């Protein structure tokens, strides 16, 4: 299992993107931008909020995986900050508002859910683990 652990700093996004580029197989290249978008949204939240201004780490994993007879690209983010389920605790954006009426921010988790086929969160052994599955393009 290929994983990359980085300090929880915004400057590490470039390192993570290079790691993802090296791990995304050719058959998933058409959705690579979705994976990068999800990674950035999740990691910016970890880097900004998980450690309450202190230091910490984030680990990302990316690999092909077969699930329920289908091919997916699995991507996960693990951190050891305060417990936070982005799929349950992040407020849902009001998509009925125009862009001018909507507050800045707040679309990240919505976008992550929109581009992934499946998303899961669990808190295990002191770690927040977010797992995403991206369907293989047809």
Give SS3 for 70. Answer: strand
Q: What's the CATH code of the domain at 11? A: 3.30.565.10
Per-residue pLDDT at 101: 45
Q: What is the per-residue pLDDT across 77-95, written as a single tens digit (0 to 9) for each?
A: 999 999 999 888 655 544 4
Q: What are phi and psi of 51, to 5 degrees?
A: -110, 15
Residue-wise DSSP of 7-45: ES-GGGHHHHHHHHHHHS-GGGGGGHHHHHHHHHHHHHH
CB of 14 closer than 8 Å to CB of 72: no
- Whole-model pTM: value is 0.86
Query: Per-residue pLDDT for 64 more than 70?
Result: yes
Query: Per-residue pLDDT for 119 more than 90?
Result: yes
**How many domains, the chain?**
1
Q: What is the per-residue pLDDT across 11-26, written as a single tens digit (0 to 9) for each?
A: 999 999 999 999 999 9
Rounded Cα gap, residues 50 and 110, in angstroms: 19
Domain span holding position 61: 3-135
């Amino acid at each position: 299992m290929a994983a990359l652990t980085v300090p929880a700093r915004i400057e590490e996004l470039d390192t993570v993107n290079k790691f993802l580029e090296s791990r995304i197989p050719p058959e998933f290249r058409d959705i690579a931008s979705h994976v990068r978008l999800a990674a950035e949204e999740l990691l910016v939240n970890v880097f900004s909020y998980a450690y309450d201004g202190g230091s910490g780490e984030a680990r990302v994993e990316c690999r092909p995986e077969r699930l329920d007879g289908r091919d997916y690209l699995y991507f996960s983010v693990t951190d050891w900050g305060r417990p936070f389920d982005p799929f349950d605790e992040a407020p849902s954006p009001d998509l009925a508002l125009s862009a001018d009426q909507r507050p800045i921010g707040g679309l990240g988790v919505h976008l992550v859910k929109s581009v992934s086929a499946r998303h899961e969160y669990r808190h295990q052994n002191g770690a927040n683990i977010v797992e995403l599955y991206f369907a293989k393009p047809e």
